[in-house]
Chain A
Amino acid sequence: MKDNEAAHKEEEHNIGYSTYLLVWISLVAFTSVTVTVAGINLGDYTLFIAMLIAAVKSSLVINIFMHVKFEDPIFKVFLTISGFTLLVIFILTFFDYFYR
């Protein structure tokens, strides 16, 4: 456990200002892609592309900006469970909506 903690500390020190800047640049780039895609009509793909980009962006924010990548595994377990809970709520609601 002690070794694990030391390793965590080391990893944390490795994230420099430049990494954050790089992540920020890619987030802004993804945002401009979303805006551009919203302007042109791609039909059924519009929503899919927007959701895909949103997923990549949130993964960048959660992992790097919010340090989840360098956290104890229990944080990832919590995050997965809460995300899965939300997914289940969405699926159940849409089942109700479609087969009502």
Chain B
Amino acid sequence: MNNQTVHIEHEVHRDDVGARMGMWLFLFTELLLFGGLFLVYAVYRHEYVEQFRVAAMALNTTVGALNTIILLTSSLTVALSIAALQKGNKSLSVMLLLLTDVLALAFMVNKYFEWTAKIHHGIYPGSETLMNLPDGQILFYGLYYIMTGLH
């Protein structure tokens, strides 16, 4: 009887390193996915230096910077959440994860306003205003919508 209990306990398999490695393998696929998009961006930025500069200047730096800070802060809350868990503070850990979700929502709201402003200016995929712009700017905004949208 006693032997059996021990046996069952051994059946519980736990491999933290393996789990983290799986997470990293997933992240490597993300790296290749976004890496490919950045490669397209880099090549076209080279081909249309001036037009990419003009189009990039038209973007709202404040909204972009705000979203970057939101992303950095949500990275912080996840890191803190893990630290809280390691210290055995479960409720704080859960609270930090909820805060991360709130930040994710804030990011989406911010993106909504950013895109809405662009659409109001007539710049959205396939729009007349966009199609009348030079090729380089059409490419820039196409990549802008695809990359931020996928993200």
> Among the listed stretches B74-82, B107-115, B138-146, which one makes contact with chain A, having 4 or more residues with CB under 8 Å of it?
B74-82
Query: Is the beta-carbon distance between B68 and A31 smaller than 8 angstroms?
Result: yes
A-B contact count (CB 8 A): 69
> Of A17, A71, A82, A97, which is within 8 A of B83 by CB?
A17
Interface residues contributed by chain A, number (CB under 8 Å): 36
Q: How far is the CA of A38 from the CA of B79 in the complex (A)?
A: 29
| Contact across chains for A65 and B42 when beta carbons are under 8 A apart | no
| Contact of B72 with A27 in the complex, beta carbons under 8 Å | yes
Query: If A65-B79, A71-B20 touch, does A24 touch B73 (CB 8 Å cutoff)?
Result: yes
Question: Which residues of chain A from 49 to 70 have any CB-CB distance to chain B below 8 Å in the complex?
Answer: 61, 64-67
Could you list 14 examples of A-B contacts with CB < 8 Å? A15-B83, A17-B80, A20-B79, A24-B73, A28-B72, A39-B61, A61-B75, A71-B20, A75-B21, A78-B21, A78-B28, A86-B31, A90-B35, A93-B39
